[in-house]
Structure 1
Amino acid sequence: MSDILKGLEPERVFRYFEEICAIPHGSGNEKAISDYCVAFAKSHNLWFRQDEANNVIIRKPASEGYEDAPIVMLQGHMDMVCEKNSDVDFDFEKEGLKLRIVDDMIYASGTTLGGDDGIAVAYALAILEDDHLAHPELEVVITTDEEVGMDGARALDVSDLKAKYLLNLDNEEEGQILTSCAGGMKSRAAIPTRHVEWEGVSAVIRISGLKGGHSGAEIHCGRANANRLLGRVLMNLNKELNVGVREVNGGMKDNAIPREAEAKIVLDPEDIQRAMEIKNEFVAAIADEFAVSDPDIRIELNVECNENRQHTIIHPADMERALFVFIQSINGIQTMSMELPGLVESSLNLGIVRTEEDNVNFAWAIRSSKKSLKYLMSDQLQYLAEFVGGTYWYEGEYPHWSFKSDSKLREVVASSYRDLFGKEARIEAIHAGLECGLISEKMPDLDIVAIGPDIHDIHTPGEHLSIPSVERSYRLICDVLSRLKA
């Protein structure tokens, strides 16, 4: 492990964060980081439980004078979204992240940082290690597979958990106290395809340079979706030309706004010039549409081989059906909240398109704070997919987290923030999904808030974590724990 973060304060927090970053811990690859948390508990003589889903629960007794205080749960997830720039050679299954500091921010070189939610784990371990802090009995709950459907929280056995308060540490905005969140699901569609031979020259359409982002936290920013742009390029070409499509691929995670997409196509040699013109016309239109949100969009059409020969392509009729899904799929914000002005109520994100041997597959992340709207969006996608002869299913459904009007924990956190920093915290809801919904469903009497430091551009290779915000948020967590004596 490197010592890139050595010397930063709080020392314990950044030491543990750097150790976490050195261990591959993408969703579905969490056994090593789970075992790391277990090893920590053993080395500090703390009670722990590791379940079959690799969730880890660690208990620490109350400090002196807090023996009769209500138990507090600190909670976060150990998995991260694995995104990288296309020109970066990096194996998330085997390599530790390559950290770097720019000004007062921590980045990973060319990849996501995993501040969402590695910093929560680092906070929890630092607090568990420090025997000088004042706190009630602690139940630290570190879950798995949050980023791919909250499967760890869904599998979590809470029968031996006794907490009254839950501090969720999966917020990415300092000064914001979250009190509710949207529910969601992962939607999937498969459009069956046949293949035929097609004569022409091979070419590639590449879309890149988009900002992307978290499909819950940044969906309101109006950023371009590379998969949607790819569908539009193909539609424009097909209006005038006979284009054979060998494959279409875009995006990496259903809950990340896709930054890149690609189509391998076949063109008649006589159509190459006009195809370039159509592409350039589209580029000009897109540059105008997304001048503010995505000023660096690049759309390229490159001929791979000028040789006119036979290629295997998706049958044009089947590709037409897949293109229909590209174009007609609902995407982005669907409704805004009437109760909380400015809050997105329901949305979805076409995050992944993949060409498989016999299908073109689509994946969306659906979110809504209204259960009925969540199912409406799912029904719309099902109707669309089945209308063109495809199949549809959803998985990883999780509930929304409802606002509670009476919350002592919210009052304590707000008061602590005011006293520490001389200003008011913002009490808000969030459109992104948090594990609070699943945990509160299992433990309905829990008093819950979510807090955390500033983390920018999560779920993208530009993700960065504010060093001073980490320190301030740690002070806030410790101060809140000291105030929960009764």
Structure 2
Amino acid sequence: MFSRLHELTQFTVFHYFAEVSKIRRRSGQEKEISDFLVQFAKDHHLEVIQDQALNITIKKQATSGYEQAPTVIIQGPMDMIEDKNEDAEHDFAKDPLQLRIEGDMLYATETTLGANSGIALAYSLSLLSSNRIPHPNLEVILTTEGRLTMKGARELDISHLNGTILINLDSDEFGKLLVSGSGGIASTFTVPIIWNEAAKNKILCRIHIGGLKGGHSGLCINQGRGNSIKLLGRILQRLSAKMDFSLAGLAGGTKDTSIPREAEAFVLIQAEKIGQLEAEVEQWNQIFKNELRHSDGQVFAQVTKEEEVFLKVFSKETTEKLIAALLLLPSGVENMSLDFPGLVESSASLGVVNTYATAITFESFIRSSEKSLKDKMINEMKILANVLGSEVTFGYDYPEWPYNPDSKIKSLFEMVYKEKYGENIESIAIHAGLECGLFLEKMDFDAISIGPDVYNSHTPNEHLSISSTLKTWEYLLAVLKEIHAIELIGPQSKFNTDPPLWIG
């Protein structure tokens, strides 16, 4: 058990985790961390390639006795989702993450931790800097925008790679092998705004939804967590049927791939109606606390009077369209697999709403392990846009990662785990995308993904298990040490051949 950070950073892995936590690595803004990795490679006299997308490839020759072993690609993202508590003073542009230890867990105070990418970086740098770890030829690939668009993996040129085995370090559950994932596509639903002049005798009020856990919209979509934007839509729909108000703005969420924790609407009402508005929102406050008592017990809905002056408000037609979009845009589990218990087969998540000068945009993310179901949701959104006189466009799209029952690297990981821990390891699939799918689209790699226990990813309550981080590191080193054994594994492995446990 560790109580002080300096004790923890005596371990090489956590030394590098702390180092990269000082560097901004926001998705889409990876120049600083990418340049850091280039300098690291040069300092350690390693071959390094930095491409136009700022991806980094670092190559290290095999240690003695491993020259003939198959070349292994170690891969993970370098970027992270930046999110913080509403009242946090942290400035990601200049402030390092404030790491702290609570028991076996490592947190970043008031902000996201960037655990998955931080650990992928830490494991990679620890491997590359060591002269004592037995390993085959290594090709370490650290990609950009892995948390959002997967642009880095999409644009990566693999022609300079020799590896045939891909070990991805972006998983978040120790003791489980990740062997498959879903595909996904981003969407932006745009409702044009017709503005009217705001009445001068009305009071501006803010309706605020907060206190929700949020989380990764793939991994947490079946946990019943509240979506602040959808909850706000329910309040506005009921208010529109009960009282007169003008809507002046909507905002909520931070990323299309995260379940939104907070959302707000600005409304103008007559002063004598404020009491009614507060009473209506308080009713919804109690309704949400009851509905979400098991998954999001800290949820709240509240009204505050604002001093800001809004000179324009949405027209009645625009308000009606917005409320319809809030209620009807798909969000949540669409299908559960009938073949594999526990697998979310398809889902959508409304992640962000923003108000601009000419339009309100709703950003969603669709996931599915079946392309036909992904297409179904795409078509539903197109039809809704047509009905509402709106527009929907689709952005970055990534493929599914299919399960390979004959994977040799999977069998090797199973063998080493059994020998090291005396029990079988589970193989799982998740309702989320990893860069493995894009790598496999380019070349027929034998792929696996591992990682330590990470909790509440993409939220300010994100935390990382210290003990499982060290165990995963030891496990990875043990596999690399036994990499020769992979040549002895035939098409039908003698190890665990059970199908993966599908989780959503």
TM-score, structure 2 as length reference: 0.93
- Runs of 5+ in structure 2 lacking a partner? 488-504
Contact 2:116 2:169 in 1 (8 A): no
- Counterpart Cα distance in 2 of 1:248 and 1:310: 13
Q: State the match for 1:87 in structure 2.
A: 87
Q: Select 1:294's aligned residue among 268, 293, 296.
A: 296
Q: State the match for 1:247 in structure 2.
A: 249
Contact 1:207 1:261 in 2 (8 A): yes
Mapped pair 1:330 → 2:346: no
Q: State the match for 1:149 in structure 2.
A: 149
Q: State the match for 1:220 in structure 2.
A: 222
Contact 1:25 1:32 in 2 (8 A): yes
- The residue type equivalent to 1:482 in the other structure is K
Mapped pair 1:52 → 2:52: yes
Mapped pair 1:464 → 2:463: yes
- Counterpart Cα distance in 2 of 1:452 and 1:407: 18
Contact 2:285 2:302 in 1 (8 A): no
Q: State the match for 1:179 in structure 2.
A: 179
Q: State the match for 2:318 in structure 1.
A: 318
Contact 1:26 1:93 in 2 (8 A): no
Corresponding residue SS for 1:465: strand
1:159-170 matches, within 5 Å, as 159-170=159-170
- Counterpart Cα distance in 1 of 2:417 and 2:10: 18
- Counterpart Cα distance in 2 of 1:367 and 1:183: 6
- The residue type equivalent to 2:108 in the other structure is A
Q: Select 2:260's aligned residue among 258, 261, 266.
A: 258
Corresponding residue SS for 2:8: coil
Corresponding residue SS for 1:448: strand
- The residue type equivalent to 1:464 in the other structure is H
- Runs of 5+ in structure 1 lacking a partner? none
Task: Report the count of equivalent residues.
Answer: 481
Contact 2:245 2:267 in 1 (8 A): yes
Contact 2:178 2:430 in 1 (8 A): yes
Q: State the match for 1:196 in structure 2.
A: 196
Contact 2:33 2:78 in 1 (8 A): yes
- The residue type equivalent to 1:469 in the other structure is S
How far does the alpha carbon of each residue in 1:253-288 deviate from its partner, in whole angstroms, 9 at most, with x for none?
001100000111111223222222211221221111
- The residue type equivalent to 2:277 in the other structure is A
Contact 2:191 2:322 in 1 (8 A): yes
Contact 2:453 2:469 in 1 (8 A): yes
Contact 1:85 1:111 in 2 (8 A): yes
How far does the alpha carbon of each residue in 1:317-368 deviate from its partner, in whole angstroms, 9 at most, with x for none?
1121011100011111101122221011111110000000110100001111
Q: State the match for 1:451 in structure 2.
A: 450
Contact 1:179 1:429 in 2 (8 A): yes
Q: State the match for 1:363 in structure 2.
A: 363
- Counterpart Cα distance in 2 of 1:89 and 1:7: 27
Shift of residue 10 of structure 1?
Answer: 6.9
Q: State the match for 2:235 in structure 1.
A: 233
- Counterpart Cα distance in 1 of 2:382 and 2:95: 39
Contact 1:251 1:353 in 2 (8 A): yes
269 and 26 in structure 1: CA distance in 2 versus 1, 3 angstrom threshold: same
Contact 1:29 1:93 in 2 (8 A): no
- The residue type equivalent to 2:128 in the other structure is L
Contact 1:173 1:451 in 2 (8 A): yes
- Counterpart Cα distance in 1 of 2:78 and 2:381: 31
Deviates more, 1:349-358 or 1:280-289: 280-289
- Counterpart Cα distance in 2 of 1:190 and 1:273: 33
Contact 1:185 1:365 in 2 (8 A): yes
Q: State the match for 2:501 in structure 1.
A: none
Identity over aligned pairs, percent: 41
- Counterpart Cα distance in 1 of 2:421 and 2:83: 35
Contact 2:9 2:18 in 1 (8 A): no
Q: State the match for 1:274 in structure 2.
A: 276
- Counterpart Cα distance in 2 of 1:432 and 1:398: 11
How far does the alpha carbon of each residue in 1:150-206 deviate from its partner, in whole angstroms, 9 at most, with x for none?
000000000111111111000011111011100001110110002112321111101
TM-score, structure 1 as length reference: 0.97
Say what the alpha-carbon RMSD is for the aligned residues: 1.5
- Counterpart Cα distance in 1 of 2:80 and 2:251: 22
- Counterpart Cα distance in 1 of 2:116 and 2:250: 30
Shift of residue 4 of structure 1?
Answer: 6.1
Shift of residue 422 of structure 1?
Answer: 2.3
- Counterpart Cα distance in 1 of 2:131 and 2:379: 53
Q: State the match for 1:478 in structure 2.
A: 477
1:2-17 matches, within 5 Å, as 5-8=5-8, 11-17=11-17
Contact 1:146 1:153 in 2 (8 A): yes
- Counterpart Cα distance in 2 of 1:336 and 1:161: 38
Corresponding residue SS for 1:147: coil
Deviates more, 1:369-378 or 1:245-254: 369-378
Shift of residue 222 of structure 1?
Answer: 1.0
Corresponding residue SS for 1:340: coil
Q: State the match for 2:348 in structure 1.
A: 348
- Counterpart Cα distance in 2 of 1:4 and 1:463: 19
Shift of residue 6 of structure 1?
Answer: 2.5
